[in-house]
Amino acid sequence: MIVDGMTKWACDTPHFPRDPVKFNRGDRLVQPVTGVTYTCGTSQTYLYTDFDMYTKGANTTCNAIVRTLLEQPAQERPSFLYLQLDNYTAENKNKAFFTFCGSLVAMGVLDHVQINYLCVGHTHEDIDQIFGCIRGSLKTATVLTPQAMWMLWNDCTTPSPSVRCETKMYDYLAWLAPHVNNGLSGVTKPHCVWFSMQGGEVTCLLCLLFDLPFTRW
């Protein structure tokens, strides 16, 4: 699963190729976009917008991961989740997000979670191409309503992504705050991070070189 987000404010509505007047921040409906490419036999791209409810921190990524898993038929959901993410501390590489990944294993949702953080200069090929098509379409399109913006996302590329407007999001970071493992900090460089259950506890491996115990809750 590849998760990435489009630059904030890029898809706010109403949108004009050239703004006829100067818009203040509060004059537009904020629509941040999170893209997910899910591959399990076949590949499907999902675009989620959340109306800026929980865009700070890891909540956007957490919600996108859970919603994508729930989109799959129960009998086809994976036991091993491989994530490819930006090496971006605020959203994808912090104690709260590590706690979320560990909770998926601790609660038996998944057997293993592996995260690969990409180095500088990388590209999420599929998602970046779709975001590029969206930006290209917005250079000439007038989009007055959120529904029209979702249609533009759906029509901008072939095959069409699956567009999901989420009117309700979940604050996973608040729920998991009492369980955050403070030992999982200072992870600054790109790493391969692996969560699995060992001896009744969730264990986190960084670069597969050393163990950090992650107590089960």
Q: What is the pTM of this model?
A: 0.83
Task: Give residue 150's identity as a one-letter amino acid code.
Answer: W
Quote the Cα angle for 184-3-125, to 5°: 125
CA–CA gap between residue 74 and residue 217 (Å, rounded): 25
pLDDT tens-digit profile, the chain (217 residues): 888 877 666 788 888 888 777 777 678 888 888 888 888 878 888 888 876 665 567 888 888 899 999 888 888 888 899 998 887 777 888 888 888 888 898 888 888 999 888 776 666 667 888 888 888 898 899 999 889 999 999 888 888 888 888 777 888 888 888 877 666 666 666 678 888 888 777 777 765 433 444 444 3
Q: How many CB atoms lie within 10 A of CB 110?
A: 20
Between CA 61 and CA 55 the distance in angstroms is 9
Whole-number pLDDT of residue 180: 79
Name the CA dihedral angle for 27, 28, 29, 32, rounded to a multiple of 10 degrees: -130
* Contact assessment for residue 127 and residue 37, using Cβ atoms and an 8 Å cutoff: yes
Angle at 128 between CA 184 and CA 31, to 5 degrees: 80
The domain locations on the chain are: 2-214
**According to the model, what pLDDT value does residue 39 have?**
87
- Considering only CA atoms, which of 80, 98, 78, 79 is closest in space to residue 89? 98
pLDDT at residue 148, as a whole number: 92
Provide the token pair at 86: 């930006």
d(CA 112, CA 206): 14
d(CA 165, CA 167): 6
Q: Which of 139, 124, 121 is nearest to 83 (CA)?
A: 124
Tokens, residue 120 = 């500088």
Residues 33, 127: Cα–Cα separation, whole Å: 11
**pLDDT the model gives residue 8:** 63
Residue 208's pLDDT is: 41
Q: How far apart are CA 189 and CA 41, in angstroms?
A: 31
Q: Write the single-letter amino acid at 217.
A: W
Q: How far apart are CA 94 and CA 92, in angstroms?
A: 6
Q: What are the phi and psi torsion angles at 107 (to 5°)?
A: -90, 5
